[in-house]
């Protein structure tokens, strides 16, 4: 039973290039969350998606960042025209139901994608 799969695990980009990070949720999960972890910081919520819908993007920077979760295929976090400050670990998590059920509260995390911007 595969867990949350993220790829690539490591990505190096030069300033101005685009970064695409992919996340396949656990089987049976239709809710995906993206978090960013900067060095010496906790995880910061970015966006919460269901299939074909963005539910909450209050943590997403207004420019250069976008996310989607199509009907078929993985969720994608896209960063355009990357800058050095985008260097971070990006974690995807999934849950079977929305808004992190009050009965379980658990999100299942992938191992992260580590973006380095040169």
Partner 1 sequence: AQSVTQLDSHVSVSEGTPVLLRCNYSSSYSPSLFWYVQHPNKGLQLLLKYTSAATLVKGINGFEAEFKKSETSFHLTKPSAHMSDAAEYFCVVRGSQGNLIFGKGTKLSVKP
Question: What residue ranges bind partner 1 (CB under 8 A)?
Answer: 3-4, 33, 35, 40-45, 48, 56, 58-59, 91, 93, 98-100, 102-107, 109-112
| Minimum CB distance to partner 1, residue 16 (Å) | 28
Nearest to 39 by CA among 85, 82, 93: 85
| Minimum CB distance to partner 1, residue 39 (Å) | 11
Measured in whole angstroms, how far is the alpha carbon of residue 30 from the centre of its chain?
Answer: 14
- Number of alpha helices (DSSP H) and beta strands (DSSP E) in the chain: 0, 11
Nearer to partner 1 (CB atom), residue 6 or residue 13:
6
| Minimum CB distance to partner 1, residue 29 (Å) | 14
**Positive or negative, the Cα torsion across 9, 88, 25, 75?**
negative
């Amino acid at each position: 039973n595969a867990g949350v799969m993220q790829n690539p695990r490591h990505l190096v980009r030069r300033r101005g290039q685009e970064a695409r990070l992919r996340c396949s949720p656990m089987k049976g999960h239709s809710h995906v969350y993206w978090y960013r972890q900067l060095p010496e910081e906790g995880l910061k919520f970015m966006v919460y998606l269901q299939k074909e819908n963005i539910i909450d993007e209050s943590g997403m920077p207004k420019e250069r960042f976008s996310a989607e979760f199509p009907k078929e295929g993985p969720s994608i976090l896209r960063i355009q025209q990357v800058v050095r400050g985008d260097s971070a670990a990006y974690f995807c998590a999934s849950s079977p139901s929305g808004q992190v059920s009050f009965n379980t509260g658990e999100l299942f995390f992938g191992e992260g994608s580590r973006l380095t911007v040169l």
